Structure 1
Amino acid sequence: MSTLRVTAELLTVHDHPDADALELAQVGLYRAVVAKGAYRSGDAAVYIPEQAVLPPALVEELGLTGRLAGRASDRVKAVRLRGELSQGIVCRPRALAGVDLVRAAAEGTDFAELLGITKWVPPVPTTMSGDVEPAPGLLPWVDIENVQRYPGIFEPGEPVVLTEKVHGTACLLTHLTDEGRVHVSSKGFGAKNMALKEDPRNLYWRAVRAHGVPEAAARLAARLGATRVGIFGEVYGAGVQDLAYGANGRSEELGYAVFDVSAEIDGRVRWLDAAEVLGEELPLVPRLYAGPYDIATVLELASGRETVSGRGLHLREGVVIRSATERYSPVTGGRAIAKAVSPAYLTRKGGTEYE
């Protein structure tokens, strides 16, 4: 899940192709449906992204009572309005009436705290939870921004790699060479430097044991001369999320696929190409494309049928885009990595979104 920022943005306004009273306000490559005439191209307004949770007073002020997602109808979610995908909310809250939004857009001011907007935290099923312990040596995963929100992360023509984004739950494993042990955690616990104590009932421990991940991490650490190795994989299957890829998270047939690897070598943590350093030692997420960056190619590959099962059993969640050569991005303030999500995935019915 990406970070939550509520910012002022300069808009580009487009006609709605199927509604005379509506228009489309573009932010980055996102488009949000707005009332016709509310904004003009070049205007500044506040953009509230998906997965934001709004306070009741703001929901009422924006005229969205009963129209948002979640049990309290307070969470922003992608929807289709008269056939057009609307991602996020474009507005001018009364609390910012005296604020110069053009200047705020230029300065990148974050209004989330002022407006009482928080980031939605997915629930954690019991199979993904358990007893935890401090793990200061754990190598954490990073939040990934959506390339449609920040299209400047990659340069046109830059060599990139696209892998399929798997709808499961992220499993973090860190091999500690000096201690001769591993930490296993979820994305949520890992962000708090906490690891899950080993339990044969726990989904993450079941996955890494079933696929021999601790042993593969130890072999990789020895080859690289690394003091720590992090292997980041997606655990998936029936009982994990609504998209199962033909696997069963409740049995020995649970799915697992590595999507990233990091290693601490000579005191520096480096991100590595999972296919290059692991080969066929562990299952990997499917690689869909390697070549020059082109946003049209990215958005095309973000949709379609999944390739994880090899049978196209259901829709694809999306893709993850990485620079072919690991580099820093001033747009993200970290790695040059992003995601693009399928519109069909965003608007599917009965979907689950666990951490």
Structure 2
Amino acid sequence: MSMLRVTAEKLTILEHPNADALELAQVGLYRAVVARGVYRTGDYAVYIPEQSVLPEELIAELGLTGKLAGSGANRVKAVRLRGELSQGIVCRPAALAAADLAAAAEQGEDFADLLGVVKWQPPVPTSISGEVVGAPDLLPWVDIENLKRYPGIFEPGEPVVLTEKLHGSCCLVTYTAGTGEVQVSSKGIGAQGLALVEDERNLYWRAVRAYDIPAVAARLAERLGAERVGVFGEVFGEGVQDLGYGASARTDRPGYAAFDVSAVVDGQLVWLSAAELLDGELPLAPELWRGPFDPETVLRHAQGRETFSGRELHLREGVVVRPVTERWSPVLGGRAIAKVVSDAYLTRKGGTEYE
């Protein structure tokens, strides 16, 4: 999941093709359905993104009582309103009535704390939880922001590669060359500087052993002259999330696909291409396209059916976008990488979002 920020944004107002009383407010590449006539292009308003949990007072103020997602009807989720996808909430809360929203937008001010908005934390099934230990040397995964929120991450025409985003649970493996120590964690647990104690019942450890990832990481460390190597992959299948790709997590060999590699070489952390380093070693997240960056091309490839199984068993979650040449992003203040999630995935019924 990406970080939560509730910010002031400059709006572009578009016509809603199917409703006279509604319009579309565009923020970045996101579009949120709003009442007609409330905003005009160039106006500033507050944007509350998906996966935000709102306090009851704000929900009531916005007239959304009983209309949001989750057991508490308090979570922002993408919906279709009169046939148009609406992602996030555009509003002007009373608590910010005196605020200069244009200046706040320029400064990137975050209103989440002031409004009592928090990030939704998905539940953790017992199969992917377990006993944990401190792991200060663990190489963590990074939160990936949505390209729709930050469309300026990539330059027009910049060479990029799109890989399919698989719906499972992120598995982190760190191999230390000097000691041969192997640390296994999830994205959420790893972000806390913790690793999972080896347990044959644990989903991540079963995948790590089934695909012999420590041996792959050891060979990679030797090849790179690295002190530590991180192998990042998605564990998936029936029993993990609602999209299974024809695999089952209830066996000794759950579905697995590597999508990224990091390494510490001469004391420096570098990110490397999983496709270049792990082809033939591990299953890989499918590459869907590469070429000059164009937002419309990326958005188009985010839609459709999954390709990992080779049978188009169900919808596609989306895509991950990376530059062909790894680089730092001034827009994000970190690694240049982004995701786009498909409309069908966002609006599917009965979906799970375990982490």
TM-score when normalising by structure 1: 0.99
Name 1:89's counterpart in structure 2: 89
Distance in 2 of aligned mates of 1:133 and 1:178: 20
Distance in 2 of aligned mates of 1:152 and 1:225: 35
Question: Would the aligned equivalents of 2:206 and 2:253 in 1 still touch at CA under 8 Å?
Answer: no
Name 1:352's counterpart in structure 2: 352
Q: What SS class does the counterpart of residue 153 from structure 1 fall into?
A: coil
Q: What SS class does the counterpart of residue 219 from structure 2 fall into?
A: helix
Q: Structure 1, residues 178-211: CA drift from partner, whole Å, max 9, x if none? A: 2211100000110001000000000000001000
Q: Structure 1, residues 280-314: CA drift from partner, whole Å, max 9, x if none? A: 10111001111111111111110101001011000
Name 1:111's counterpart in structure 2: 111
Q: Which amino acid aligns with 1:334?
A: G
Distance in 2 of aligned mates of 1:101 and 1:300: 33
Matches within 5 A, 1:145-160: 145-160=145-160
Q: What SS class does the counterpart of residue 204 from structure 1 fall into?
A: helix
Distance in 1 of aligned mates of 2:175 and 2:22: 54
Question: Would the aligned equivalents of 2:164 and 2:285 in 1 still touch at CA under 8 Å?
Answer: yes
Distance in 1 of aligned mates of 2:180 and 2:348: 44
Q: What SS class does the counterpart of residue 252 from structure 2 fall into?
A: coil
Name 2:338's counterpart in structure 1: 338
Distance in 2 of aligned mates of 1:68 and 1:178: 51
Matches within 5 A, 1:56-67: 56-67=56-67
Confirm whether residue 294 of structure 1 aligns to residue 297 of structure 2: no
Distance in 2 of aligned mates of 1:129 and 1:162: 31
Name 1:315's counterpart in structure 2: 315
Q: What SS class does the counterpart of residue 109 from structure 1 fall into?
A: coil
Q: What SS class does the counterpart of residue 171 from structure 2 fall into?
A: strand
Structure 1 segments (4+ residues) deviating >4 Å:
none
Distance in 2 of aligned mates of 1:275 and 1:27: 33
Distance in 2 of aligned mates of 1:270 and 1:234: 20
Name 1:22's counterpart in structure 2: 22
Distance in 1 of aligned mates of 2:19 and 2:319: 31
Distance in 1 of aligned mates of 2:342 and 2:199: 35
Question: Would the aligned equivalents of 2:12 and 2:25 in 1 still touch at CA under 8 Å?
Answer: yes
Q: Which amino acid aligns with 1:301?
A: H
Confirm whether residue 100 of structure 1 aligns to residue 100 of structure 2: yes
Q: Which amino acid aligns with 1:11?
A: L
Q: Which amino acid aligns with 1:174?
A: T
Distance in 2 of aligned mates of 1:55 and 1:298: 34
Displacement after TM superposition at 1:170 (Å)? 0.1
Matches within 5 A, 1:1-355: 1-355=1-355
Q: CA RMSD in A?
A: 0.6
Distance in 1 of aligned mates of 2:275 and 2:39: 47
Q: Which amino acid aligns with 1:326?
A: E
Q: Which amino acid aligns with 2:145?
A: E
Distance in 2 of aligned mates of 1:29 and 1:177: 43
Question: Would the aligned equivalents of 2:261 and 2:274 in 1 still touch at CA under 8 Å?
Answer: yes
Runs (5+) with no aligned partner, structure 2: none
Q: Structure 1, residues 260-280: CA drift from partner, whole Å, max 9, x if none? A: 000000000100011111221
Question: Would the aligned equivalents of 2:245 and 2:309 in 1 still touch at CA under 8 Å?
Answer: yes
Q: Which amino acid aligns with 1:54?
A: L
Question: Would the aligned equivalents of 2:221 and 2:229 in 1 still touch at CA under 8 Å?
Answer: yes
Q: Which amino acid aligns with 1:85?
A: L
Question: Alignment length, in residue pairs?
Answer: 355
Displacement after TM superposition at 1:104 (Å)? 0.5
Question: Would the aligned equivalents of 2:304 and 2:315 in 1 still touch at CA under 8 Å?
Answer: yes
Runs (5+) with no aligned partner, structure 1: none
Q: Which amino acid aligns with 1:171?
A: C
Q: Which amino acid aligns with 2:192?
A: K
Q: Which amino acid aligns with 1:111?
A: F
Q: What SS class does the counterpart of residue 230 from structure 1 fall into?
A: strand
Q: What SS class does the counterpart of residue 130 from structure 2 fall into?
A: coil
Distance in 1 of aligned mates of 2:231 and 2:38: 48
Q: Which amino acid aligns with 1:277?
A: L
Distance in 2 of aligned mates of 1:354 and 1:332: 25
Q: What SS class does the counterpart of residue 207 from structure 1 fall into?
A: helix
Distance in 1 of aligned mates of 2:67 and 2:253: 39
Distance in 2 of aligned mates of 1:61 and 1:77: 18
Displacement after TM superposition at 1:253 (Å)? 4.0
Displacement after TM superposition at 1:254 (Å)? 1.2
Q: Which amino acid aligns with 1:164?
A: E
Q: Structure 1, residues 146-198: CA drift from partner, whole Å, max 9, x if none? A: 00111000011100010000000000000011221110000011000100000
Displacement after TM superposition at 1:252 (Å)? 2.7
Q: Which amino acid aligns with 2:143?
A: D
Q: What SS class does the counterpart of residue 151 from structure 1 fall into?
A: coil
Q: Which amino acid aligns with 2:86?
A: S
